[in-house]
């Protein structure tokens, strides 16, 4: 496999807005690719601006061949694809079985710029001007889509660096971390006619198009907001000048039996994104896992850096909360013009594992926003914007919605 795909810039070609998604459950990659290509051509014609491809790990060995066949069949200007634990597309989530899915997008007069990051040629995380140039960031930047290998791409450091390189302007990012392998070198990333198993690949979309985002972390707060008053690395040592673990124990005593069960099943911590808001509610927190407790210091270890002065609140997650959160966020999108297509990056801990029913998230998207084409995959980490920043999430459904730009829109 080639280790360094070559970036490129694609001018607008079609001048049209539109999308088509396709899905095949066939385990033979060539057969699945033929089925997907036929569906895309039926839905959008024989050309597209952007082709996004997703294959379950069953298709790993021949994924690049399948991608090449589909890419040439539909004459895609830019192609991006990855393998994952499971994929989704059309109106179903192929959770646990073989699947090959795709979405073909015509993006009007929007401009596309591809980019890569590899161990040999990484983004220089402390050089924001160089990052902006490589990303193609400008005043008309709408979104950057990143697909990354978890073993060779420093996604936890790359995402905040990309998010913060815009000189005070938001840098919206979506995408996912490949989830199809438990060992290095086994994930497959495809950028146009190039294939790699390391690093990350991406495409930036700018210009005459609107891209909106739904990032559902699926949690609800318990207790009240607390201020971290002592911390070290990823340990919250004191909350409100008291040992953090003692504060948590006290909180647990006041919960209902159902909430105590959720607490034991998986405690989460939400860090406030904007400390200047007078009140905090849904969407104001960045959710992180609680990793454990330090008996000596009475500290709580979290999956992020703990910082003195930050406001946090404990959270829990269950299927009802996750469903309600996604529904409310989708309902808010009904106030805008209908999207013509969507990309969905959802956690591999969601799906039937969480909801106990097939195709929960994609069914709700279609129920709330209409039967638009959607494709994506179950990721080992999901990218999505919250507030003015973009973050790497877990247990999250991150949806990018493409809308034709309204006349007079800035």
**Per-residue confidence band for 410, with pLDDT thresholds at 50, 70 and 90:** very low
Give me the mean pLDDT over the 44-62 stretch: 96
Residue 252, pLDDT > 80, answer: yes
The dihedrals phi and psi of 59, each to the nearest 5 degrees, come to -100, 10
Residue 1, pLDDT > 60, answer: no
Query: How far are the Cα atoms of 180, 228, 265 from residue 188, in angstroms, in the given order?
Result: 9, 41, 33
- Show Cβ contacts of residue 50 under 8 Å, excluding neighbours closer than 6 positions: 76, 77, 78, 79, 80, 104, 105, 107, 112, 203, 205
* Closest to 213 measured CA to CA, from 172, 170, 166, 178: 172
3-state SS record for 214-244: EEECCCEECCCCEEEEEEECCEEEEECCEEH
In this prediction, residue 9 carries a pLDDT of 60
Tens-digit pLDDT profile for residues 190-227: 999 999 999 999 999 999 999 999 999 988 888 899 99
φ/ψ region of 233 (left if φ > 0, alpha if ψ in -120 to 50, else beta) reads: left
Residue 4, pLDDT > 80, answer: no
Strand bridging mode 382-386 / 389-393: antiparallel
* Closest to 386 measured CA to CA, from 174, 154, 125: 174
pTM for the model: 0.91
In this prediction, residue 260 carries a pLDDT of 84
| Residue spans of alpha helices (H) in 142-236 | 155-163
Would you state the CATH architecture of domain 220-316?
Answer: Beta Barrel (2.40)
Structural domain boundaries in the chain: 9-216+323-403, 220-316
């Amino acid at each position: 496999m080639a280790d360094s795909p070559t970036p490129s810039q694609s001018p607008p070609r079609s001048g049209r807005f539109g999308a088509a998604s396709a899905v095949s459950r066939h385990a033979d990659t060539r057969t699945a690719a033929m089925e997907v290509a036929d569906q895309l051509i039926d839905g959008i014609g024989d050309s597209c601006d952007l082709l996004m491809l997703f294959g379950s790990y069953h298709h790993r060995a021949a994924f690049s061949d399948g991608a090449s066949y589909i890419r040439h069949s539909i004459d895609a200007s830019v192609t991006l694809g990855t393998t994952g634990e499971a994929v989704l597309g059309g109106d179903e989530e192929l959770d646990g079985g073989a699947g090959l899915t795709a979405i073909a997008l015509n993006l009007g007069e929007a401009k596309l710029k591809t980019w890569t990051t590899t161990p040999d040629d990484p983004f220089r995380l402390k050089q924001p001007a160089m990052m902006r140039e490589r990303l193609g960031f400008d005043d008309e930047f709408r979104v950057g889509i990143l697909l990354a290998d978890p073993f060779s791409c420093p996604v936890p450091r790359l995402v905040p660096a990309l998010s913060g390189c815009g000189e005070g302007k938001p840098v919206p990012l979506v995408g996912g971390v490949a989830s199809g392998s438990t060992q290095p070198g086994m994930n497959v990333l495809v950028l146009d006619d190039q294939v790699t198993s390391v690093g990350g690949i991406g495409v930036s979309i700018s210009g005459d198009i609107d891209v909106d985002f739904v990032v559902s972390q699926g949690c609800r707060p318990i207790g009240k907001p607390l201020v971290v008053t002592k911390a070290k690395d990823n340990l919250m040592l004191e909350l409100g000048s008291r040992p953090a673990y003692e504060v948590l124990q006290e909180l647990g005593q006041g919960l209902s039996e159902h909430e105590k069960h959720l607490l034991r099943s998986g405690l989460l911590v939400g860090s406030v994104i904007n400390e200047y808001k007078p009140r905090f509610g849904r969407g104001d927190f960045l959710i992180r896992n609680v990793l454990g407790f330090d008996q000596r210091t009475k500290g709580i270890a979290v999956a992020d850096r703990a910082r003195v002065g930050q406001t946090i609140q404990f959270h829990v997650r269950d299927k009802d909360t996750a469903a309600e959160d996604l529904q409310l966020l989708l309902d808010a999108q009904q106030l805008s013009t209908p999207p013509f297509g969507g990309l969905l990056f959802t956690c591999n801990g969601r799906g039937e594992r969480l909801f106990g029913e097939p195709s929960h998230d994609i069914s709700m998207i279609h129920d709330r926003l209409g039967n638009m084409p959607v494709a994506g995959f179950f990721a080992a980490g999901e990218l999505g914007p919250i507030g003015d920043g973009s973050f790497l999430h877990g247990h999250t459904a991150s949806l990018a919605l493409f809308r034709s730009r309204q006349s007079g829109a800035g």
